[in-house]
Amino acid sequence: MTAGGQPDPARARELEGRLRAVRARISSAAGTAGRGEPELIVVTKYFPASDVRTLAGLGVTDVGENRDQEAAAKAADLQDLGLNWHFIGQLQTNKARSVVRYAHSVHSVDRLPLVTALGKAVGVEQERRAGAGLGPREDLRCFLQVTLDAGADPAQARSGRGGALPADVPALAEACAATEGLRLAGVMAVAPLGASPAEAFERLLHVSAAVRAVDPAAAAISAGMSGDLEEAVAAGATHLRIGSDVLGPRPAVG
């Protein structure tokens, strides 16, 4: 048996039920909106590797994490599962080397120095892999995180949860598209607290159009969490990041 411990049958049943309910909500929202179903990324932050293993057994292929240390440990434990790891948290440039060792995507690319650091880190990782006799990794898919706080004042937006101002996104997109080892995927946002998610996601669509003007293939829209997945699907999200409605309330951070 691998790290992550023995599967707990009661927990497995709970996860199965919750996952089924979330998938039903996604199908229903996609049906109502007349859209294809977006990809589900299950956000497993703070939950043990054993839960991630159970979810993989239930058909989950993509998981999201927001802290490098935790993500790196789980990805190492669960290497045999071939999961796609999505990094969704604020990322310091000095963590880029670690993140590119396991991440398929980074959803929190929000400033030029981070683009540079990730590009360099992928280069270093390719050398490491070649030296270890491993094949190259795929290009790192980059989602540009946008702040959707209405009328965000730049100083405030930058001190908040992360995310570039919409006006700064085209330059970020250009930089990402021009960086070897990175693939511009699209945009990402978290709906602001206390505002209408539908309106916020509408603003995100405009930013997405600006990114597609840089690269028409960069059409991904990562939006929608447990509380607003229906609004995100209606607005055209291609990737949903769902945590608590699949895993239950997050344990307190120790």
Ligand X SMILES: *Cc1c(COP(=O)(O)O)cnc(C)c1O
Binding site for ligand X (CB under 6 A): 43, 45, 66, 88-89, 190, 225-227, 241-245
Q: Which lies closer to ligand X via its Cβ, residue 45 or residue 95?
A: 45
Contacts of 254 (CB under 8 A, 6+ apart): none
**Least distance to ligand X from the beta carbon of 129, Å?**
28
- In the complex, what is the shortest distance from the CB of residue 79 to ligand X, in angstroms, rounded to a whole number? 23
Q: Name the residue whose CB lies closest to ligand X.
A: 243
Closest to ligand X by CB, 49 vs 229, is: 229
**Residue closest to 47 by CA, chosen among 91, 20, 77:** 77
Amino acid identity, residue 92? Q
CB of 245 to ligand X, least distance (A): 6
For ligand X, the closer of residues 19 and 190 by Cβ is: 190
Of 74 and 241, which CB lies nearer to ligand X in the complex structure? 241
Q: How far apart are CA 105 and CA 103, in angstroms?
A: 5
Distance in Å, CB of 222 to ligand X, minimum: 8
DSSP codes joined into one string, 64-77: EES-HHHHHHHHHH
Beta bridge partners of 43: 64
Rounded to whole angstroms, the Cα distance separating 138 from 250 reads 32
Q: How far is the CB of 58 from ligand X (least distance, A)?
A: 17
206/250 with CB nearer ligand X: 250
Alpha-carbon distance 230 to 219, whole Å? Answer: 19
Instruction: Please identify, using beta-carbon distances, which residue of 143 and 181 lies nearer to ligand X.
Output: 143
Residue type, 101: R
DSSP 143-156: EEEB---TT--HHH
Cα–Cα distance for residue pair 50/204, rounded to 1 Å: 35
CB 230, min distance to ligand X, A: 13
